[in-house]
């Protein structure tokens, strides 16, 4: 019988006899849990008065063929004493390894935003993923699959009597995702994630770019650029929103 497949590189299953021959009884296995906590804050006073806060919490569990992760992001911006932007993003995904490089995934992503084309934007999807590379230095994963999207329109008024997108969207979609990371140096890492959600009503593309510089084993400085693009938006609104942040990242 072949050994079980795993997501973590360099980890394989062996027989009990092999374990006794090659590994001491007190060998400590790496924890299947990985957790990240992130905070960022900016304040500008003088000619302009702005305050922004962003936070992020992520957890991942990997064991054997299974990998499960969840993430929550929050961004809030006050400008001249009034709230200008507020957005919460939360996601969850579970993967099951089918072969050394192929896996099946199921995912959910929700976005609650007060100042964009939609108040609520929820997608669920399932399909196949492929790991072109999965080493400590370089990771490249591609996912594709069908799904379903629910969007609640932004009914705030542009003018006194203009309504934005009055129809609720409930439709089938196609989802594609590219996730990559590159450990350039022992203390420097680049990450990029792109997610495309395409449906009859709209196309949305989310792009996240990150540079992570380790300060200690558990604390890092992170520079992140997040961009959201909508193919169709109401007249007078931009098709894209972007956020640049500098944060402290705590890794456990």
CATH code of the domain in which 133 resides = 2.40.160.40
Q: What is the pLDDT of residue 6?
A: 53
Q: In this predicted structure, what is the pLDDT of residue 66?
A: 95
User: What is the predicted pLDDT for the residue at 20?
Assistant: 44
pLDDT at 156: 67
Decide if 236 is inside a domain: yes
Tell me whether residue 6 is in a domain.
Answer: no
| Inside any domain, residue 125 | yes
Question: Which distant-in-sequence residues (6+ apart) come within 8 Å of 243 by Cβ?
Answer: 54, 75, 224, 225, 226
Is 69 inside any structural domain? yes
Predicted pLDDT at 27: 61
Instruction: Answer yes or no: is 27 within a domain.
Output: no
Residue 56 within a domain: yes
Identify whether 1 is part of a domain: no
- With vertex at residue 243, the alpha carbon angle to CA 41 and CA 172, rounded to the nearest 5 degrees, is 130
Q: How many domains does the structure of the chain reveal?
A: 1
Question: Would you state the pLDDT for residue 36?
Answer: 92
Please, are residues 218 and 250 in contact by the beta-carbon 8 Å criterion? yes
Please tell me the pTM assigned to this model: 0.80
- Domain range for residue 206? 16-21+33-251
Distance CA 250, CA 39 (A): 9
pLDDT at 102: 97
Task: Return d(Cα 51, Cα 82) in angstroms, integer.
Answer: 10
- CA distance linking residue 221 with residue 209, whole number of Å: 14
Contact 39, 247 (CB under 8 A): yes
Residue 65, sorted as left (phi over 0), alpha (psi -120 to 50) or beta, turns out to be: alpha
* Rg of the chain, C-alpha, whole Å: 21
Question: What's residue 51's pLDDT?
Answer: 86
Q: What span, in angstroms and rounded, lies between the C-alpha atoms of 53 and 74?
A: 8
- Quote the CA–CA distance of 218 and 215 in Å, as a whole number: 8
What is the structure's pLDDT at 16?
43
The pLDDT score that the predictor gives to residue 240 is 87
Do residues 132 and 181 lie in contact, with contact meaning Cβ atoms separated by under 8 Å? no
Is residue 4 situated within a structural domain? no
Q: Look up tokens 């609640």; give the residue.
A: 152
pLDDT reported for residue 24: 52
- pLDDT tens-digit map of 114-168: 777 778 899 999 999 999 999 999 999 999 999 999 988 877 654 444 455 678 8
pLDDT for 113 equals 85
Low-confidence ranges of the chain (pLDDT < 50): 1-4, 9-21, 23, 158-162
In terms of phi and psi (left: phi > 0; alpha: psi -120 to 50; beta: otherwise), the region of 139 is beta
Residue-wise burial string across 86-96, b where 16 or more C-beta atoms lie within 10 A, e elsewhere: bbebbbbbbbb
| 215, 217, 218, 220 alpha-carbon torsion, rounded to 10° | 20
């Amino acid at each position: 019988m072949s050994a079980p497949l795993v997501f973590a590189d360099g980890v394989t299953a062996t027989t009990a006899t092999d374990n006794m021959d090659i590994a001491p009884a007190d060998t400590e296995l790496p924890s299947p849990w990985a957790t990240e906590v992130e905070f960022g804050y900016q304040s500008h006073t003088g000619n302009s008065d702005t305050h922004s806060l962003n936070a992020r919490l992520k957890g991942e569990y990997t064991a054997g063929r299974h990998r499960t992760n969840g993430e929550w992001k929050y961004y809030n911006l006050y400008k001249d004493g009034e709230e200008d932007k507020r957005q919460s993003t939360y996601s969850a995904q579970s993967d099951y390894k089918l072969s050394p490089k192929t896996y099946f995934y199921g995912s959910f992503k929700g976005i609650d935003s007060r100042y964009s084309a939609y108040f609520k934007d929820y997608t669920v999807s399932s399909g196949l993923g492929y790991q072109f590379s999965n080493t400590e230095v370089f990771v490249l994963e591609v996912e594709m699959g069908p799904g379903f999207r629910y969007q609640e329109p932004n009914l705030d008024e542009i003018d006194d009597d203009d309504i934005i997108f009055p129809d609720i969207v409930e439709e089938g979609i196609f989802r594609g995702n590219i996730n990559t990371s590159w450990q350039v140096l022992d203390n420097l890492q680049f990450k990029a994630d792109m997610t495309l959600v395409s449906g009859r009503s709209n196309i949305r593309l989310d792009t996240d770019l990150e540079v992570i510089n380790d300060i200690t084993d558990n604390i890092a400085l992170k520079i992140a650029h997040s961009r959201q693009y909508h193919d169709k938006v109401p007249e007078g609104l931009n098709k894209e929103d972007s956020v640049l942040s500098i944060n402290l990242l705590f890794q456990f």
